[in-house]
Structure 1
Amino acid sequence: MTRFRQFAAIDWSGAVGARQKGIAVAICDTGVDAPTLILPTEGWARHAALDWLLHDMPADTLVGLDLGPSLPFADTGAFFPGWADSPPDARALWALVDRICADDAHLSATSFVDHVEASRHFRHHGGRKGEFFERHGRLRATEQAQRAQGLNPYSSFNLVGAAQVGKSSLTGMRVLHQLAGRVPIWPFDRPTGGSLIVEIYTSIAALGAGRSKGRTKMRTIADLNAALTTIGSLPVPGNGPIDDHSSDAILTAAWLRANADRADLWHPPAMTDEIARTEGWTFGVT
């Protein structure tokens, strides 16, 4: 039986601004009750989510963050080939991003993607590509494994398009740097008790709840409840529409509860110690 007493999921956002419509937080306890949304009066901000993780998250919570905690490293032996200051591991990467973006408001990461060296590795708006960005962009080992599971991950070096994840990952790294040493983060830490943060990919929860590829987003409460029922959760009340950020968070919190004690998810065979230290891994990818 899992040691965790609460299960939470945070759908993240790298958008510009003080408040983020794309951030949603859901939580549930052990048992079968449906997760509930945590709804701040003024809406979520990245700083508010950080504060919740540090001060308001219940003890012994397994919390999933829907963001990339690192960048590709294993394929070239570096995050940023050709840059003398390319960090040696994920924690040093978080520190670098946070330092370069120290003056960026709302935990944004504009200064990093515009940095003279870092920008050479990203695909930017306006058809601009750094000389190190090739084809669709580099992927982490866990993202390669996601493709093998039938998912469609995007490179965090891609900053263009509705499906881009680069900005959310970089803003998330600023949060992770400020959480380091205060809340353990898997697989960079190997804690034995207390709360724990993992990377999640909400489509994994949707597929595990019976949604088909290409239909992982749920925009009605009826669709959300059908998915919740499939993974052994009671439904949420009400009917009608729901935004996909909220439904992603609710379903993934319930999915974490249903899968937290699966040993294979904590020990994926392709996750070496070096990959765990540099790239991290997505919980749910085997």
Structure 2
Amino acid sequence: MVGPGDAAPAARPGRATLTRRFTWFAAIDWSGQAVARPAGLAVAEVGDGGPALVARDGGWSREGILDWLTMLADTQADMLIGLDLSPALPFVDADSYFPGWTESPTDARALWAMVERRAADDPHLAATSAVNDAELSRHFRRHRACGDLFGQGRGRLRLCEERQRAAGFSPTSCFNLVGAAQVGKSSLTGMRVLHRLDGRIPVWPFDPVPETGPVLVEIYTTIAARAAGVRAGRSKLRDAEQLDAALAVLGSPPHVPSPRYDDHATDALLGAAWLRAVAHDPALWSPPALSAQVARTEGWTFGVV
């Protein structure tokens, strides 16, 4: 089977139709941990067989994943890539990422650039300096320090996250940086990667889907787990047998034996197989609530309708 890096079709201008069919799929389980090689990073890919982890000597770093994605861009790999992170903060509910601040970015790309500027000196593509910024920190819930503009309860959600709640899922606000379920750090570090990739790989729905080459989408691995028959409260798979049973529900062959079966590895393996199973459903590319404003400011989780 030919790997994604072996094919380099020439890119052609123009928007793709909903009938585009990818031949390779990948899922990246992300981590916002401010260390060189976060244990939570995992990458899996799948073509027409069973999914397999993509290994990296010494473990993955965010810089290493950026290099891998750049390679896919350079070779114009025919791959749909799911990133398990939020590519933007809530905007639509308040018509602003940071209400009351005159310098608040007006769209996602400006947000990515702002996070990059404020975290430029943080090693390992971390984003600690961004959340410690005097103005930005007012909007985040941090350890022992809840910003005065965070608000009450769960924190603000994006429109697609509200749709997830309506469907029975439990998304967490990107403004929450506390607890095992927090996703804010992952999202902010991911924004630094998206900023550096800008123009190299289209990110749906901020960009139209091209006719050739790789495309990035946001995924929520719990959606993949539910689709694979893993019931609520047991969305994490930690052994080969459980993983293969879930893959079979998605119509996938068994996975390639893995050196690890932690939450992150199995999330990536299942996520890649799920993308292959659902990517050609036109409805997932055209959610009714995905307006031009939402696409420009908040983005959307692939698989939410």
TM-score between both structures, scaled by the size of structure 1:
0.96
Give the Cα–Cα distance (whole angstroms) in 2 for the partners of residues 21 and 219 of structure 1.
15
Does 2:42 match 1:24?
Answer: yes
Letter in 1 for 2:62: R
Give 1:199 deviation, angstroms: 0.1
Answer yes or no: is 1:184 the counterpart of 2:202: yes
Task: Kindly provide the CA deviation profile for residues 132-178 of structure 1, in whole angstroms up to 9, marking residues without a partner as x.
Answer: 11221100000000111111000000000011000000000000001
Matched letter for residue 292 of structure 2: D
Cα-to-partner distance string for 1:261-284 (whole Å, 9 max, x where unaligned): 001100000111100000000000
Question: Does the alignment pair 1:209 with 2:228?
Answer: yes
Cα deviations by residue, 1:28-84 (Å, 9 ceiling, x for unpaired): 11x3x1111011111000000000000147611100000000000000000001111
Structure 1 residue runs of 5 or longer lacking an equivalent are none
Partner residue, 1:73: 91
SS class of match (1:144):
helix
Does the 8 Å contact 1:229/1:235 carry over to 2?
Answer: yes
Partners of 1:240 and 1:28 in 2: CA distance:
17
Give the unaligned 5+ runs of structure 2: 1-18
Aligned residue runs from structure 1 range 1-286, under 5 A? 2-29=20-47, 31=48, 33-56=49-72, 59-126=77-144, 128-134=145-151, 135-193=153-211, 194-237=213-256, 242-286=261-305
Deviates more, 1:139-148 or 1:188-197: 188-197
- Please provide the CA RMSD for this pair: 1.4
In the alignment, residue 34 of structure 1 is paired with which amino acid?
G
Q: In structure 1, what residue type is equivalent to 2:182?
A: Q
Q: 1:104 to 1:269 in 2, by over 3 A?
A: same
Give the direction of change, closer, same or farther, for the CA distance of 1:240–1:279 in structure 2 (3 Å limit): closer
CA displacement, residues 111-134 of structure 1 (integer Å, 9 cap, x when unaligned): 1000010000000101x2111112
Q: CA deviation at 1:240?
A: 10
What amino acid does structure 2 have at the position aligned with 1:280?
G
Q: Is the 8 A contact 1:220 1:240 kept in 2?
A: no
**Partner Cα separation in structure 1 for residue 31 and residue 230 of structure 2:** 23
Tell me, in whole angstroms, the C-alpha distance in 2 between the residues paired with 1:66 and 1:55: 20
Tell me, yes or no, if the aligned pair for 2:80 and 2:215 is still in contact at 8 Å: yes
Structure 1 CA distance for aligned equivalents of residues 239 and 260 of structure 2 = 4
Aligned partner of 1:47: which letter?
Answer: E
Partner AA of 1:230 in structure 2:
V
Measure how far apart 1:2 and its partner are: 4.4
